[in-house]
Amino acid sequence: YTALDLQNEMNEIVRAAEKLQQDQTVVVFVDELNTTSIMGPLQSIFSDRVYEGKKIPDNIMWACAINPAIQRNVELEDAEDKKSNFTGVNKRKALEYAVRPIPQSLQDLSINFTALTETQENRFINSLLSALYSEVFQNRDQRNTLTVAILESQKFIKRIGKRNIGVSIRDILRTVKIYTFLYNNPFLLMQIDDSRHQQLACERHWRALFLAIGMCYYFRLQYKTQREAFETEIQDALSRIDYHSNANNIPPVLLGQKLSTIVRKTQGSLFKQ
């Protein structure tokens, strides 16, 4: 993103603001603000409301997202990279952008939104899946199992606390989207057999759930011990659910299999399609 890009966009924003009535406002969202190389002009826009020596209209409101600038331990990062990175490319050198500290004048305008607490995450996931209930799920047990699986996955990733592995609302939304796509396209997950219609309805839920969790959380874990611990915790949590109907529990065809085994077999079916 260059100074010329900023100039073009500022011209559009100012024109849009000038066309509005006095009581109307243009809201401009700037993402990843502190990765930019042109902080000077942006600071002038946000702090002084001036761009290229001209005052910008008062009916423009700016909202920006920034990431904290963290002091990095380069030696430790390189040591970890050697252990777990088999691509031949140094991750630190392959970074597309760097997070920089923001000027003091902008720090005074910033609000620190911390990560969601476990309770907040629980409420968010329940609200999200409740809104999708009639569109996605056939019964309450399906919603509950996906909720538990996502919550436990989020907790596990947070607990191991690796610098390059984190979770956020994006991961929750991504898991739900992948689950929904797979559940609505069962031919990608397994062979369709009308004689087993009732069993298949349950089985496709579990295959979609395990594959969504696998893609969004399991495969992000670098070490075998982490993956094994993750499998155990997820399946223990699912086994503790009080199912509304036993017919919605893990079907016999999947019972006793590890999450990783189900994911690999289901992925194989998916790629064959």
**Same domain for 104 and 129:** no
What pLDDT sits at residue 94? 46
What pLDDT sits at residue 96? 46
Task: Give per-residue pLDDT as tens, 60-115.
Answer: 999 988 877 666 655 665 666 565 555 555 555 544 457 777 888 888 888 877 77
Domain limits at 33? 1-113
Residues of the chain with pLDDT under 50: 94-96, 194-195, 197, 271, 273
What pLDDT sits at residue 79? 63
**Same domain for 156 and 29:** no
Query: Long-range contacts: 107-116, Cβ < 8 Å, 24+?
Result: 109/46, 109/47, 110/66, 115/158, 115/168, 116/169
What pLDDT sits at residue 83? 57
**Same domain for 128 and 56:** no
- Counting the structural domains of the chain, the total is 2
Residue ending a domain, among 113, 146, 179, is: 113
**Same domain for 135 and 33:** no
Three-state secondary structure call for residue 263? helix
**Same domain for 200 and 84:** no
**Same domain for 254 and 133:** yes
**Same domain for 132 and 109:** no
Amino acid found at 213: I
**Same domain for 69 and 158:** no
| Residue-wise burial string across 156-194, b where 16 or more C-beta atoms lie within 10 A, e elsewhere | bbeeeeeeeeebeeebbeebbebbbebbeebebbbeeee
What pLDDT sits at residue 190? 64
**Same domain for 188 and 108:** no
Residue ending a domain, among 94, 113, 132, is: 113
